[in-house]
Amino acid sequence: MSRKNFFSVLNQEINRIDKAKTSKRFEKIITGFTNERSPKAIIGKKKFQVFNSNDYLGLRHHPALKKAEHQATEIFGAGPGAVRFISGSLKVHRDLEKALAKFHKKNDAMIFSSSFAANLAVLFCLIAGQNKDSLVDSDVIVISDALNHRSIIDGIRVANLPKEQRTIFRHMDPTHLEEVLENNKKIYKRALVVTDGVFSMLGEYQKLREIRTIIDKYDKEYVNGVLLVVDDAHGVGIAGKTGRGIEEIEGVKADVLIGTFGKAFGADGGYVVGSQTIIDYLRESAATYIYSNSIPPGTAAAALKSIEILDKPLGKKLLENSKENVAYFKKQMKKVGYFFAVDSSHPIQPVLIGDPFKTSVLVGKLFKKNIIVTNISFPVVPKGRDEIRVQISAVHTKKDIDQLVKAFKQEK
Ligand SMILES: Cc1ncc(COP(=O)(O)O)c(C=O)c1O
C-alpha cells in the first residue's frame, strides 16, 4: 500500500481524459503580441490573428490601461499585500467599486479575484448561512438555467442543499421557470433564480425581461420572495448601446449582478453589484472575499480606466465598431455559404458546422492559415450542433475579417 497507488489512479484518469479527446492541458503558449491596432499573437515563429479572445473591445492592449496599471503599481506595489479586511483595501479598489456602482446604477459593489470566485461566494452566501449562528436559513429553492456557467453550478454545489432544493429550468425557457416557481410556492420560504446574462457558447442573450416579470409575479407567493441573480460576464462592457450588458439589452434589472473585468474590460478580476444590504451582507460573509486577496492594484487601476473609457467618445466608438464588425462578419460569412447556430448581435458568433470531426479539422486548417478560433462540440453543445466559435473584436479591421472569411471559404 502506498500513495503510489493513488498516483496511478490519477494517471489512469489523465489517460481516460486524453482518450476521450477532451484534454485541455496542451495549451498554445503565446510569447508576445505584435504592435498594431489588432495585435497578432506570436506563437513559435508565427503571428496569428486572434478570433477567440474575450477582449471584445481590444482594451487590454490599450496604452491608457497600461499607463494606469503602471502608475498604480508604482504607488501601491505589485500585489495587494493582504486580504481586504486586514490591510489589502487600497484606495484604487474602493474607487473601482464606486465607479462600478455608478456604472450599473446600483448602491454598491465589491471586487473579487475573479468572477468565478464571486459566483462561488455569492451563491453560497445567498443560499446558505455561514455558520450555526447565521440568521440566514436554507429554506430555499434554487432554480438555475440548464446551460449556466460552471462557476454557477459550483456555487450551488458548495451550498450543499438537498437535491430536491436544486432545480434546473430548461435553457432560456421562462415558461418552464414559471412552472417550477408555481410548483414550489407552498413548499419553500424563498426562491433564488440564477442565470447567465449572455451564454458564452452561442452568444445568446437570456430572456431577462420575461424572467423578471415572472419573478416579480411570484415574489409575493413566497414568504421571503424570489431573488434574481445574473452572471453577466460576457455582457458587461460590451452588450447594449452603452455596454451595460444584458440589463441594457433587456431593459430590466437583476437583484444581484456579477461581472468580470477579464473580458470586455480588458483587465482581470470579478465583481458583484447590488443593493447596500446585499453588498454589506456579502462583505461580512463571502469567503473568497474575506479570506482571499483582491486583484492587484495595477489591475484595479486598469479596470477603472476601462470603465471611464466606456462612457467617453473612445468607448462609444469601440462599441459602435464592435457592432459594425459583428454585422459585417455575419453578412460576409452568409455570402460564402455559412450558417450560424443562433442569430445574435454579440461578438460571440457560432459558425455551425454540425460534425465534431469536420469542426476540429477546420480549426486545424485555419490555424495553418495563422488564424485562431475555437471548436465546440458535444457535450457542450447538442450532438449535430458542433460549431466554430468566432469572437469578433472592436479593433479587428475589415481586412482582418475579410481574411478570416476568405480562409473559411477556401476550406468549405
Ligand atoms: C458566464 C461566466 N461566468 C464566469 C466566468 C469566469 O470569469 P473569470 O475569469 O472572471 O473568473 C466566465 C468565464 O469564462 C463566464 O463565461
Domain boundaries, given as residue ranges, for the chain: 24-53+315-410, 63-310
C-beta of 262 in contact with ligand 1 (< 6 A): yes
Pocket test for ligand 1, best of 100, 201, 260, 292 (most atoms within 8 A of CB): 260
190 pocket-lining for ligand 1 (C-beta < 6 Å):
no
Atom of ligand 1 nearest to the CA of 148: 1
Q: Are strands 46-50 and 41-43 parallel, antiparallel or unpaired?
A: antiparallel
CA of 117 to the centre of ligand 1 (A): 9
Return the sign of the alpha-carbon dihedral for residues 50, 53, 58, 61.
negative
Q: What pLDDT tens digit does each residue of the chain (412 aa) get? A: 899 999 999 999 999 999 987 888 999 999 999 999 999 999 999 999 999 999 999 999 999 999 999 999 999 999 999 999 999 999 999 999 999 999 999 999 999 999 999 999 999 999 998 888 999 999 999 999 999 999 999 999 999 999 999 999 999 999 999 999 999 998 999 999 999 999 999 999 999 999 999 999 999 999 999 999 999 999 999 999 999 999 999 999 999 999 999 999 999 999 999 999 999 999 999 999 999 999 999 999 999 999 999 999 999 999 999 999 999 999 999 999 999 999 999 999 999 999 988 999 999 999 999 999 999 988 888 889 999 999 999 999 999 999 999 999 998 8
12: which 3 cell numbers?
Answer: 489512469
Q: Which residues are catalytic?
A: 200, 234, 263
User: Quick check: 181 and 216 in contact, CB under 8 A?
Assistant: no
CA distance 40 to 403: 13
| CA distances, 26 to each of 13, 18, 220, 373, 386 (Å) | 16, 10, 51, 16, 21
Q: What is the pLDDT of residue 383?
A: 87
Q: Whose CA is nearest to atom 7 of ligand 1?
A: 115
Cβ–ligand 1 contact at 231 (below 6 Å)? yes
Q: What is the pTM of this model?
A: 0.96
* Closest CA relative to residue 122, chosen from 75, 94, 154, 100: 154
Q: Please list, in sequence order, all residues whose beta carbon lies within 8 angstroms of the beta carbon of residue 188, skipping any fewer than 6 positions away.
A: 139, 140, 141, 165, 222
Preceding amide of 379 cis, omega within 30: yes
Q: Is 263 in the pocket of ligand 1 (CB under 6 A)?
A: no
138: three-class secondary structure by DSSP? coil
Handedness of CA 251, 120, 158, 26 (dihedral sign): positive
Q: Are strands 140-145 and 190-196 parallel, antiparallel or unpaired?
A: parallel
Q: Which helix (H) or strand (E) holds 363?
A: helix 356-368
pLDDT of the residue at 122: 98
pLDDT score for 235: 98
Query: Which pLDDT score is estimated for 378?
Result: 83
**Annotation: CATH topology of 63-310:** Aspartate Aminotransferase; domain 2 (3.40.640)
How many other CB atoms are there within 10 angstroms of residue 249's CB atom? 21
Question: Which ligand 1 atom is nearest residue 149's CA?
Answer: 1
For residue 260 and ligand 1, the question of a CB distance below 6 A is answered with yes
- Which pLDDT value is given to residue 130? 81
Report helix, strand or coil for 103. Answer: helix
Q: 3: which strand partners?
A: none
Distance 158 CA to ligand 1 centre (A): 17
Q: With a 6 A CB cut-off, is 149 part of the ligand 1 pocket?
A: yes
| Residue pointed to by grid coordinates 479575484 | 113
Give the Å distance between the CA of 116 and the centre of ligand 1. 6
24-53+315-410: which CATH architecture?
A: Alpha-Beta Complex (3.90)
Rounded distance between C-alpha atoms, residue 177 and residue 169, angstroms: 5
Q: Which of 114, 151, 194, 346 to mutate to test the pocket of ligand 1 (most atoms within 8 A of CB)?
A: 151
**How far is Cα 21 from Cα 331, in angstroms, rounded to an integer?**
33
Residue at grid coordinates 432545480: 167
Q: How far does the centroid of ligand 1 lie from the alpha carbon of residue 265, in Å? A: 13
